[in-house]
Structure 1
Amino acid sequence: MSNPTEPTRGPIPRPNSLATSAEPGKSARGAERGILLVTGAGIALAVVGLVVSLLVGAGSTDAESDTAQSITTSESAAVPAAPAPPPAASLPKQYLADMSPTSGTAYTGTMPVNGASYPHSIYQQFSGCDTEVSHTYNLNREWSRFSSTIGIAEGGNSQSVLQFGVIADGKSIYSSGNVAVGQSPTVDVSVAGVQNLTISFLFVGGNLESCSQAGNGVWGEAGLTK
């Protein structure tokens, strides 16, 4: 028989250990899921940032390359300096030594005057017997200027003095005055419209004895240009 004084025992309640332990587990798993989500989001953002950085960097590199290419192209497109003009061509020259005079006999060849040689020379030997010589050429009014270097050939009498003259159609257009040994004046005169041109030598100083050899008067490189 049961003791009536003892309270009636009901079912012993189960401890809440499982319920209590279950709640922390859920919280831990939730926290872990949160961490995973945050971590995944961070990784995703990091990847996106890396991709953006790569794209931006590539764009910047391309932009810099395009800029450099543009600068290079602009520099290469610069107009080059104009080349120096070629030297003016000398006018063709007709040497009197290659022409036949209409009067007189002209001696031609290379003659030295005052340290220089003139291969297209007209020259004449002077002496006490021959003090004046002239040669006339037909220009046919085709030339504009006459030029020459005049003087006394080396090797002659050092006391010789000559005078040189140019006559155009009977009119004197040049007279050298006295030319001594060691001098070599230049002649440059207009002969435009001239038909007949005469060059002359006159022996005025030195040994004027009969047939004395005073030297050679020279018209060096005597020539015509148009």
Structure 2
Amino acid sequence: MNEIRKPRNTPAKRFHMAAVGLVATAALATTAACGGGGSGTTQPARTITKTPPTATVTASEPSASSQSATASRASQTQYLSDLDPLTSTQGVDASAVEINGEGFARSVTLHVNAAGPVSSAEYNLGRHWDSFSVTAGMRDDSPTGGKLTFEVSVDGDLKTSETIPLGKSQKIKLNVSNALRLKLSVTYSGPDAGTDYYGSWGNARLKS
């Protein structure tokens, strides 16, 4: 019988087999890294969210013309105690008074007696005002027993006339739109010829 000889495992052959194994291992690693093959793992998709731009609102400053228009529409008040009369027969006392126990800080007073039974003062309105308001009456330090008649005229036309005794008062409000002149008058009607009486116009004021 012929003897079958096994091939010898030489060092050259062992080197060749090792080299083949390294090549195969490298090929498998490359395939896994590249995601090759039908059974490769699919990487999840990334979601990108866009943030909408923020709108910036800038408040504009009011113009000078709009501010002027607003100021012109605002109500204004002018006290007669802060004005000089155009004319007056016996002078005007601009000061605080008490009428029927009530104090009025910004008032005008006309004094009268038998020797000068009528006292008046006229003011320029300049067609700038809409209304005139006042509380009229005898000043509380006037003598007992007298009466005074209070009259208001606008551009020469008598608008109101009130006879008021000591210890009483009367509120008056008049429309003076487009008026040029305002006249206040006090007439004496008391029994004592030698005594002064004081006709006061409490907080007499113009408004627009």
TM-score (norm 1): 0.56
Give the superposition deviation at 1:92. Answer: 3.2
Matched-pair contact (CA < 8 Å) for 2:97–2:105: yes
Say yes or no: does 1:98 pair with 2:105.
Answer: no
Give the root-mean-square deviation of aligned CA atoms: 1.4
Q: Is the 8 A contact 2:155 2:179 kept in 1?
A: yes
Which residue type is aligned with residue 101 of structure 2?
G
CA distance in 2, matches of 1:98, 1:155: 23
Structure-2 residue corresponding to 1:199:
184
Aligned residues: 133
Structure 2 runs not aligned, ≥5 long = 1-73
Q: Could you tell me which amino acid in structure 1 is paired with residue 113 of structure 2? A: S
1:214 is displaced (CA, Å) by: 3.5
Q: Which amino acid aligns with 1:112?
A: E
> In structure 1, what is the equivalent of residue 120 of structure 2?
134
Give the aligned partner of residue 200 of structure 2. Answer: 218
* C-alpha contact (below 8 Å) 1:127/1:213 kept by paired residues: yes
CA contact (8 A) 1:146 1:191 kept: yes
1:122 counterpart = 2:108: yes
Report 1:132-211 matches (<5 A). 132-176=118-162, 178-207=163-192, 209=193
In the alignment, is residue 109 of structure 1 matched against residue 75 of structure 2? Answer: no
SS of the aligned residue for 2:81 comes to helix
- Residue 158 (structure 1) shift: 1.2
Q: What is the deviation of 1:206?
A: 3.0
| 1:12-91 matched pairs, under 5 angstroms | 91=75
* Structure 1 residue 117 displacement after superposition: 1.2
Q: Deviations over 1:182-226 (max 9, x none)?
A: 10100101001100111110112231x2xx124211001000001
Give the conservation status (yes or no) of the 8 Å contact 1:149–1:187: yes
Measure, in 2, the Cα distance between the counterparts of 1:213 and 1:134. Answer: 18
Secondary structure at 1:159's aligned position in 2? coil
Q: Specify which structure has the higher proportion of helix.
A: 1
**What is the CA–CA distance in structure 2 between the aligned matches of 1:168 and 1:140, rounded to whole Å?**
12
Provide the C-alpha distance between the structure 2 equivalents of 1:108 and 1:118, rounded to a whole number of angstroms. 11
Give ranges in structure 1 of 5+ residues lacking alignment. Answer: 1-89
- Letter matched to residue 219 of structure 1: W
State how far apart, in whole Å, the 2-side matches of 1:200 and 1:123 are. Answer: 10
Distance, in Å, in 2 between the alignment partners of 1:206 and 1:120 is: 30
State the percentage of identical aligned residues: 26
The answer to whether the 8 A contact 1:137-1:197 is kept is yes
CA distance in 1, matches of 2:102, 2:144: 17
Pairwise CA distance, 1:91: 4.3
TM-score (norm 2): 0.61
Q: Return the letter of the residue paired with 1:100.
A: D
**Partner residue in 2 for 1:17:** none
